[in-house]
């Protein structure tokens, strides 16, 4: 005979709440897994420039995540220290890259097309100057260098190796040491690769490759 009485450990109200949480959780996860609406107008331009500079296997998802972290896909913003546009280039860095990359001599950090090309080009320049155990670790070093400067990555690597860490790995190795930066800058820099490559990049996997996903 069927028992129509609820089990005392599973009252109907609790079951309804549990099912509602599952449904809402799935909805939230689905939203988190998709690119934000603000990113969509720049998708084609980012894919095109990434492949032009990096080749057909370009880690487009990494770059999209980086732009989201830098500017939230807002092309007209300037942050508190003067970084500008989608890619948040400082004026001195914008000038530097405008002198080295064909097509960027106009120096227009608030122009989304210029900013996207500059970001993937600067990332490529940094990528070519670091070595690592694999692409994920190498991209983490590239992101750290974009945020804080290539010189700091190199100094941190030397210090990490002197303390017995693996100098070919960023995560849980080089990221653990501080070669002399003030604590706030060091903390921000350590957060930068982790958030971009491990938290944000997965939502852009439909756009292209991701180094750590």
Residue 44 lies in a domain: yes
Query: The pTM is what?
Result: 0.85
Residue 53 lies in a domain: yes
Q: How many other C-beta atoms can be found within 10 angstroms of the C-beta atom of residue 98? A: 18
Residue 159 lies in a domain: yes
Show the domain range for 105. Answer: 38-204
Residue 135 lies in a domain: yes
Angle at 108 between CA 104 and CA 114, to 5 degrees: 55
Residue 164 lies in a domain: yes
CATH number of the domain bearing residue 56: 1.10.530.10
- Six-digit token string for 213: 């996903």
Residue 6 lies in a domain: no
How many domains, in total, are found in the chain?
1
Residue 95 lies in a domain: yes
Q: How many other C-beta atoms can be found within 10 angstroms of the C-beta atom of residue 151? A: 10
Residue 145 lies in a domain: yes
Q: Read off the DSSP letter of residue 199.
A: I
- pLDDT digit of tens for each residue in the chain (213 aa)? 334 433 334 444 444 443 444 344 433 344 458 999 999 999 999 999 999 999 999 999 999 999 999 999 999 999 999 999 999 999 999 999 999 998 999 999 999 999 999 999 999 999 999 999 999 999 999 999 999 999 999 999 999 999 999 999 999 999 999 999 999 999 999 999 999 999 999 999 999 999 998
């Amino acid at each position: 005979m069927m028992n129509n009485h609820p089990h005392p450990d599973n009252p109907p109200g609790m079951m309804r709440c549990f099912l509602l949480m599952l449904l809402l959780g799935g909805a939230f996860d689905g939203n988190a897994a998709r690119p934000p609406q603000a990113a969509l107008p720049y998708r084609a331009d980012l894919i095109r420039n990434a492949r032009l500079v990096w080749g057909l296997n370009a880690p487009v998802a990494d770059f999209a995540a980086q732009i989201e972290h830098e500017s939230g896909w807002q092309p007209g913003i300037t942050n508190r220290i003067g970084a500008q546009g989608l890619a948040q280039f400082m004026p001195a860095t914008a000038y530097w890259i405008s002198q080295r990359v064909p097509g960027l001599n106009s120096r227009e950090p608030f122009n989304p097309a210029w900013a996207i090309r500059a970001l993937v080009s600067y990332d490529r320049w940094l990528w070519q100057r670091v070595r690592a155990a694999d692409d994920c670790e190498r991209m983490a070093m590239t992101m750290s260098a974009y945020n804080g400067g290539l010189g700091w990555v190199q100094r941190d690597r030397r210090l990490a190796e002197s303390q017995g860490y693996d100098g070919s790995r960023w995560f849980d190795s080089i990221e653990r040491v501080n070669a002399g930066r003030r604590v706030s800058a060091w903390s921000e820099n350590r957060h930068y690769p982790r958030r971009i490559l491990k938290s944000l990049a997965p939502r852009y996997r439909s756009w292209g490759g991701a180094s750590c996903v």
